[in-house]
Amino acid sequence: MSDEPKTTTSDFWKGLWKDGNTGWHRNEVNEFLIKYFDELTGGRSNLRFFVPLSGKSMDMLWLADKGHTVVGVELAKQANECFFAENNLTFTVEIVEMSVSEPVEVYKCKEKRITIFSCDLFAVTENDVGGKFDAIWDRGSLVAIAPSFGDRGKRYTTKMRSLLASDGNYLLESCYYEVDRGMNPPASITDKQINDMYEEDFTIKKLEMNKIQANPEKESSFAFDINYYLFKPKGN
Look at residue 118 and tell me if it is in a domain.
yes
| Mean pLDDT estimate for the chain | 93
Look at residue 210 and tell me if it is in a domain.
yes
- The Cα–Cα gap between 50 and 134 comes to 8
Question: What's the pLDDT at 1?
Answer: 38
How many structural domains are present in the chain? Answer: 1
Question: What's the pLDDT at 119?
Answer: 95
Question: What's the pLDDT at 236?
Answer: 54
Question: What's the pLDDT at 15?
Answer: 86
Q: 210: which residues sit within 8 A by CB, 6+ positions away?
A: 32, 225, 226, 227, 228
Ordered strands of the 48-52 beta sheet: 91-96, 104-109, 114-118, 69-73, 48-52, 133-139, 164-176, 224-233, 202-212
Question: What's the pLDDT at 19?
Answer: 82
Q: What percent of the chain has pLDDT over 70?
A: 98
Q: What percent of the chain has pLDDT over 90?
A: 82
* Domain containing residue 39: 6-233
Question: What's the pLDDT at 220?
Answer: 60
Contact 79, 144 (CB under 8 A): no
Q: How confident is residue 11, by pLDDT bands cut at 50, 70 and 90?
A: confident
Lowest pLDDT segment from 19-33, 97-111, 153-167: 19-33
pLDDT in tens, 110-148: 999 999 999 999 999 999 999 999 999 999 999 999 999
Look at residue 69 and tell me if it is in a domain.
yes
% helix, strand, coil for the chain, step of 5? 30, 30, 45
- The Cα–Cα gap between 130 and 71 comes to 10
Look at residue 1 and tell me if it is in a domain.
no
Residue 132, domain CATH: 3.40.50.150
Contact 227, 176 (CB under 8 A): yes
Question: What's the pLDDT at 22?
Answer: 79
Does the pLDDT of residue 46 top 80, yes or no?
yes
Give the residue from 156, 185, 147 showing the smallest Cα distance to 24.
185
pLDDT in tens, 153-207: 999 999 999 999 999 999 999 999 999 988 889 999 999 999 999 999 999 999 9
